[in-house]
Structure 1
Amino acid sequence: MKYFAGLDVSLEQTSVCIVDAGGTVVREMKTASEAAALRTVLENYVEHLERIGLEAGPLSQHFYSELVEAGLPAICVEARHMAQALRAQTLNKTDRNDARGIAQMMRAGLFKVVHVKTERSQRLNVLLRTRKVLKSKLLDVEADLRGVLKNFGLKVGKVTPRSFEARVRELAAFDPFIAAVVEPVLAARPAMREQYDRLHAMLLQVVRHDPVCQRLMTMPGVGAVVALTYRVAIDVPTRFTKSRTVGAHVGLTPRRYQSGEVDWTGRISKAGDPLLRTSLYEAAQVLLTRVARSSPLRSWAMRLAKRRGRKKAVVALARKIGVILHRMCVDGTDFRWEAMTV
């Protein structure tokens, strides 16, 4: 007898439902959202379990890895796809019903598998996101200080990172109270800057010893941050059968709706990893505005900008960069500056 399990994972508890090949519920229960507790429940049916489904989420990577390591046939499924399937049920939205619906989808084979990143990529992803958080907070602090002084008609103007604090203290000296208020913020800023520089140095060290990142950086506009972001997000290049599908995976392809006589194309979908999409967009901006050396890729983008506008050209170029980088990963080749002749 084949069994199929569905897990509806939440922070504290996980609803578990196991059904047989005919769709009859074999067991339903709630257990703690801990890998050991889930293994204890599912290992009793390990000889009969065909598939175990759990939606992609914050705890999914950990649970998936633990279940697979224990020899259980776990599958991480796309959350939005599963949500649409569960919404079609004529049942109330509860954890129990969601687990039951996931189990039935596992039995029917109506699910979309999500790639779970390798352990190395998960670790590097922590570095990228932590660095991004610190950078964002640093920019927020500086923007807030500029806004505070602007309320009193004082403009910081163009300054370097080193001269920023001295300039703010100089402007805030007009009022002892304002000077006292901004001083703690200015005192915290160097510590944030120091830790950000530390994380950035770690990132550069990783890229320096990663041959794939070094290869990706031969593409104009692609620096260390973009290369590592792409490396981590794509993770295993061979999971894409065609390089052009990377554009849709990142969310840089237009939406399309077609039904009967209605057929329209909208803006880009913005699906997938937003950090990678932003990085590719920045690489495209750099290639168009800062890279002086001519290349067929840049010439193509410039011609497109004249026909369709600069914004659309940058998005199209970002999509093409993502596709080319994937092909570079698969083929193991550097970027080719000159057009190939046949």
Structure 2
Amino acid sequence: MKHFAGLDVSLDETTVCVVDEAGGIVREARVPSEPEALVAFFRGLGFAMERIGLEACSLAAWLHEGLTAAGLPAVCLETRRAKAAMGAMPNKTDRNDARGIAQIVRTGWFRAVHVKSPACRSWRALLAARRLVLNKMRDLENGVRALLREAGLKLGRPARKEFAARVRELVGADAVLSASVEPLLAIVATMAHELAQLTRRVLAIVRDEPVCRRLMGVPGVGPLTALAFRATVDRPERFRHSRDVGAHLGLTPKRYQSGETDVQGGISRCGDELARTALYEAAHSLLVRSRRWSSLRAWGMQVARRRGMARARVAVARKLACVLHRMWADDAEFRWGKQETASAVPG
């Protein structure tokens, strides 16, 4: 008889529910959220497991790697579909969640999530750490601006390197305001140093990563965007069509259709936010800062003239996802295209 298991993972303990192929509960337990403890539990059951499901979470990749290394058939479930399947339960408890996941795994009504390789997970962690430091720097700088505004001082928009000097120039001999601002400036300076260190680590990785170097041949795509895309996709063969990458990253419009109602909204924003933001910024750079002509930029500018620059950035970001995936899958270089001359355009 086949057996299936559902894991409701929390930080300290994981609730486990094992069911047979008819859906009957065979065993329930609470096990420490450690790969070794889970492996020992399943080996102690005395029968082989057909499938072990756990929802995607911060611990999922680590636990999945430990279970599969021990030869157990673990699968990571897409969270939204699992939540929809368990939404009919009147009471949400860890025990009920484990039971629901076990039944989902048994019936096959789930979508498996790709578990990234250790290298891609470490790269993404680096990019996430860098973004966290950058966001906190912005928060502190905005806090300094707010303190100065309360004193009637307007900072303007100085460059980041000139920020501290401009603040001290405005504060002048105001001892009270200086005592409030100087600790914040010291923290900003420390964070700027660490941000530079993290950026250098990104550049060192990209320098030795052939896929990233190839992707940087696309206008607007720099080291951060290339590494974010590389770490998110991991393996290009897991996407059957290049256009699927844009949907995977949440760059395609949402749609609600019911009877005579058919509404198409903004982008879904599902998937990896880090890669989506990087592609959006790359699209902005391509449209605004790039000076060399390319068929991709020409297409984006046509969209901007028809629909506005905001929609054009999203459209170009989606197109960039397709282009980068195709270049990676085909081991190809970026095609700039051929600009039509005035004489070649029909009158």
Length-normalised TM-score, structure 2: 0.95
Does the Cα contact within 8 Å between 2:293 and 2:339 map onto a contact in 1? no
What SS is found at the alignment partner of 1:111? coil
What SS is found at the alignment partner of 1:58? coil
Shift of 1:256: 1.1
Shift of 1:161: 3.0
1:251-270 equivalences under 5 Å are 251-270=250-269
Q: Which moved more, 1:166-175 or 1:32-41?
A: 166-175
Does the Cα contact within 8 Å between 2:327 and 2:333 map onto a contact in 1? yes
Q: Tell me which residue corresponds to 1:48.
A: 48
Q: Aligned equivalents of 2:334 and 2:202: distance in 1?
A: 22
Q: Tell me which residue corresponds to 2:175.
A: 176
Q: Aligned equivalents of 1:202 and 1:124: distance in 2?
A: 10
Shift of 1:163: 2.9
What SS is found at the alignment partner of 1:302? helix
Q: Aligned equivalents of 1:46 and 1:276: distance in 2?
A: 43
Q: Tell me which residue corresponds to 1:37.
A: 37
What SS is found at the alignment partner of 1:57? coil
Q: Tell me which residue corresponds to 2:325.
A: 326
Q: Which moved more, 1:127-136 or 1:178-187?
A: 178-187
Q: Tell me which residue corresponds to 1:79.
A: 79
Q: Which moved more, 1:41-50 or 1:14-23?
A: 41-50
CA deviations on 1:279-303 (whole Å, 9 max, x unpaired) are: 1111111111111111111111111
Does the Cα contact within 8 Å between 1:46 and 1:72 map onto a contact in 2? no
What SS is found at the alignment partner of 2:226? helix
1:302-341 equivalences under 5 Å are 302-339=301-338
CA deviations on 1:291-324 (whole Å, 9 max, x unpaired) are: 1111111111111111122211111111001111
Q: Aligned equivalents of 1:159 and 1:92: distance in 2?
A: 54
Q: Aligned equivalents of 2:254 and 2:160: distance in 1?
A: 41
What SS is found at the alignment partner of 2:76? strand
1:1-342 equivalences under 5 Å are 1-45=1-45, 47-89=47-89, 91-339=90-338
Where do 5+ consecutive residues of structure 1 fail to align? Answer: none
Q: Tell me which residue corresponds to 2:343.
A: none
Length-normalised TM-score, structure 1: 0.96
CA deviations on 1:159-183 (whole Å, 9 max, x unpaired) are: 3333322221222234211111111
Q: Tell me which residue corresponds to 2:344.
A: none
Shift of 1:48: 2.0
Q: Aligned equivalents of 1:242 and 1:339: distance in 2?
A: 25
What SS is found at the alignment partner of 2:160? coil
Distance 1:162 1:305, change over 3 A: closer
Which letter does structure 2 place at the counterpart of 1:219?
Answer: V
Does the Cα contact within 8 Å between 2:255 and 2:265 map onto a contact in 1? yes
Shift of 1:70: 0.7
Shift of 1:29: 1.1
Which letter does structure 1 place at the counterpart of 2:66?
Answer: E
CA deviations on 1:190-226 (whole Å, 9 max, x unpaired) are: 2111111111001001001111000000000000111
Does the Cα contact within 8 Å between 2:294 and 2:339 map onto a contact in 1? no
Q: Which moved more, 1:69-78 or 1:92-101?
A: 92-101
Identity %: 49
Q: Aligned equivalents of 2:36 and 2:218: distance in 1?
A: 45
Q: Aligned equivalents of 1:340 and 1:66: distance in 2?
A: 53
Which letter does structure 2 place at the counterpart of 1:56?
Answer: A
Q: Which moved more, 1:41-50 or 1:30-39?
A: 41-50
Q: Aligned equivalents of 2:4 and 2:204: distance in 1?
A: 45
Shift of 1:47: 4.3
What SS is found at the alignment partner of 2:214? helix
What SS is found at the alignment partner of 1:29? strand
What SS is found at the alignment partner of 2:50? strand
Detail structure 1 runs of 4+ shifted over 6 Å in the superposition. none
Shift of 1:240: 0.3
Q: Aligned equivalents of 1:5 and 1:142: distance in 2?
A: 49
Distance 1:112 1:304, change over 3 A: same
Shift of 1:243: 0.4
Q: Aligned equivalents of 1:303 and 1:114: distance in 2?
A: 36
